[in-house]
Structure formats: structure tokens, C-alpha cells
Amino acid sequence: MTASRTDGVDPAPNPHATAEEVAAALEDTKLAQVLYHDWEAETYDEKWSISYDERCIDYAKGRFVAAAGDQPLPYERALELGCGTGFFLLNLMQGGVAKTGSVTDLSPGMVKVALRNAENLGLDVDGRVADAETIPYDDDTFDLVVGHAVLHHIPDVEQSLREVLRVLKPGGRFVFAGEPSTIGNFYARMLGRVTWEATTNITKLPFLRDWRRPQTELDESSRAAALEAVVDLHTFDPSDLEKLASSAGAVEVKASSEEFAAALLGWPVRTFEAAVPQEKLGWNWAKFAFGGWKALSWVDENILEHVVPRSFFYNVMITGVKPGK
């Protein structure tokens, strides 16, 4: 089965925001969400090393199990909220977590890419451009709602969670992963800024010029970074996120966190990759980046999670259930 396309009423992507549009978006967070994510849509998978193979299937399913524990699988129908390119849901579907799916995102560009990815994978997925605070599906539609790195973009998180519970069937579950913790976001952003400044300045040296991206690309990245400061609205303490989910009406709510040592490596690595030409980074770099992240993730899971408070880890996950079954 293949992905069905949107029905023609959704707006078209706008991948190249003008300076005037960016200026307007600085005062309008939802416009900023659309412009920033439309700008990123076609290159997002490459930028974040997203794939739809065993590596990312294992990662996505691992996040699901880390948040929700072992659950009876598969769920019949799942929704990904703020789908981006479909990374979380499509890999979960390939991993046997759900049979069919729907994707929504405020960015037309992201929905377009997510549906294209689903079609290429032969997955049964439909999609809509939609605001997470007003999900365009009927009550009691889904068995599972998932999201990855989405809640921190939503102005009213509690309202969005109420909508998630509305579209879930009684007894249905939600799982959101990849949300930035308040403490983790502080050190990650600091590491990212230092790495960006160091890389873009060092590559001005004559003997390193071929390691420097064209200035137009760096300028566009800087303009996107200005939007990123507007679209990243929240950071979360795990306990506060649990309270939000419970207040929205969920039961069996549980927050957890991961990536401390891994984040200390991951953020400089991702920033460096964004600052230099892609062709300069070969297989040895990829092996170092993934191998280093994997090794430090082992340290996090087997040592640091037992001694470091959960609020110090970078990624926060939250799960809960719609009451009534």
C-alpha cells in the first residue's frame, strides 16, 4: 500500500523565506514555525542523519520502549503530531509498532516530504497540514499518537495534549520523545554556539578555505538560526511535563529522560557537520560520530542514569493513556 497525498486544500511549501518574511516571523511564532520548517524540509534528513533503515528503526523503537515500556504490538492506527519528515512514525511502522498511520505538521514542506518518504517505503500513511492545537481528525480515531521533538514548538502544550487525548480511542496511548530538558538545553546550546563560532572562524584561514561552506549558505544558516530562536518555545523539567499531561486528562503518565554524555558529544558533532561542506565528511567521520554517540549512550543508560538526576539529561520523554477503556 502506498501513501495517499493531501487532498489539495493544504497550502504549498515555501522553502525560501525572504528577509521581510523572517522579520515578520520574529513577531509571529506560528509563521516562524512554517517558514523555518519549510526551509529545512528538503535537507532535514541529511542534516540530522535521518534514515529509514535498521539504524533508525532501532533508534525509534528504542525510544518508544524507553518511554512506554513493553506494549502489545502492533497498534492498528497511529498519528504522528508535528511529523517533520516522518522520522518517528515511519520508522516505528517499519519496526512493527503500528499498521497504518497519519502525519500532521504546521509546515507544508514537512508534510510533503513525510508523505514522499512513506510512499517510497510503501507504507500506508495519509497526511494533513495542521495545527497541533486543533488536530483535524474526529474523536476516538487513533490507537496511538506519537511525536518526536515537537512539544517544545507548540505554544499551548496542554491544549495540544487535550487534543491528543480527544483523537485517541479510550485506552489509547501517546508517546512523545526528544524534548529538550531545561538544564540540557542550556549546555547543548552553549556547546553548539561555541562549535559554530570556532568552525566558521577557523575555516577562514587560507589553508582551510576548502573546509568552509559558501558564505551564502552560512548566511542562510544564520538566518535560519534566528528563526530557530523563535520556534523553540519551551524546555521541560520531567516533573513539570508529567503535571501538564495529567492536567490535560491523561492517566498512567510517566516522564523519563536520556542522553547526558551522549549529548555532550552530539551537539558539537551536529553543529560541525552543519558548518562544513558535506563532501568533506566521509565514512570515517560517520563511524566516529555514530560510534561515539552509541558508546556514550551506553554509559548514560548503564551508569549515569542510576546516579545523575533525570532533569540533567538532554532528552525528555513522556507517555500517558486516555482513560475510559
Q: What is the pLDDT of residues 204-259, one digit of tens each?
A: 999 999 999 888 888 877 777 777 777 889 999 999 999 999 999 999 999 999 99
Helical H runs in the chain?
19-25, 29-40, 44-47, 54-68, 87-94, 108-121, 157-167, 182-202, 215-231, 238-248, 261-275, 283-302
pLDDT band at 49; cut points 50, 70, 90: confident
- Give the predicted TM-score (pTM) of the model: 0.90
Q: For the chain, what percent of residues have pLDDT higher than 70?
A: 95
Give the Cα-Cα-Cα angle 72, 78, 83 (nearest 5 degrees).
Answer: 130
Q: Quote the pLDDT of residue 6.
A: 39
- Does residue 88 lie within any of the structural domains? yes
Does residue 211 form part of some domain?
no
Where is pLDDT greater, at 29 or 201? 201
7, pLDDT greater than 50: no
Does residue 207 belong to any structural domain of this protein?
Answer: no
pLDDT of residue 314: 97
Contact between 253 and 316 (Cβ < 8 Å): no
294, part of any domain: no
Cα 156 to Cα 116: distance, rounded to the nearest angstrom? 29
Q: Which three cell numbers stand for residue 68?
A: 512506554
- Is 154 a member of any domain? yes
Closest Cα partner for 30 from 232, 231, 179, 222? 231
With respect to residue 217, please indicate whether it lies within any of the assigned structural domains: no
- What's the rounded Cα separation, in Å, for the pair 170 and 140? 7
Question: Is the CB of residue 120 less than 8 Å from the CB of residue 129?
Answer: no
Q: What's the rounded Cα separation, in Å, for the pair 257 and 85?
A: 23
4/229 Cα distance (integer angstroms): 34
Q: Is the dihedral of CA 186, 216, 15, 46 positive or negative?
A: negative
Q: For the CA atoms of 175, 38, 234, 185, what is the dihedral angle to 10 degrees?
A: 90
CATH assignment at residue 145: 3.40.50.150
Q: What is the pLDDT of residue 37?
A: 87
* Residue 152 within a domain: yes
Residue 96's region, left for phi above 0, alpha for psi from -120 to 50, else beta, is left
pLDDT digits (tens, 9 = 90+) for 255-281: 999 999 999 999 999 899 889 998 999
pLDDT higher at 85 or 24 = 85
Nearest to 129 by CA among 156, 109, 150, 151: 109
Q: Count the domains in the chain.
A: 1
Query: What torsion, rounded to 10 degrees, do the Cα atoms 213, 216, 219, 220 define?
Result: -100
Average pLDDT for the chain: 91
Note whether 74 and 99 are within 8 A (CB).
yes
What does the block give as the cell for 266? 552530539
- Name the pLDDT band for 9 (thresholds 50, 70, 90): low
Name every residue whose Cβ is closer than 8 Å to that of residue 297 and which is 6 or more positions away in sequence: 258, 259, 261, 262
In-domain check, residue 140: yes
Structural domain of residue 127, as residue ranges?
19-181+232-258+310-322
Q: What's the pLDDT score for residue 4?
A: 36
Can you give the pLDDT at residue 16?
67
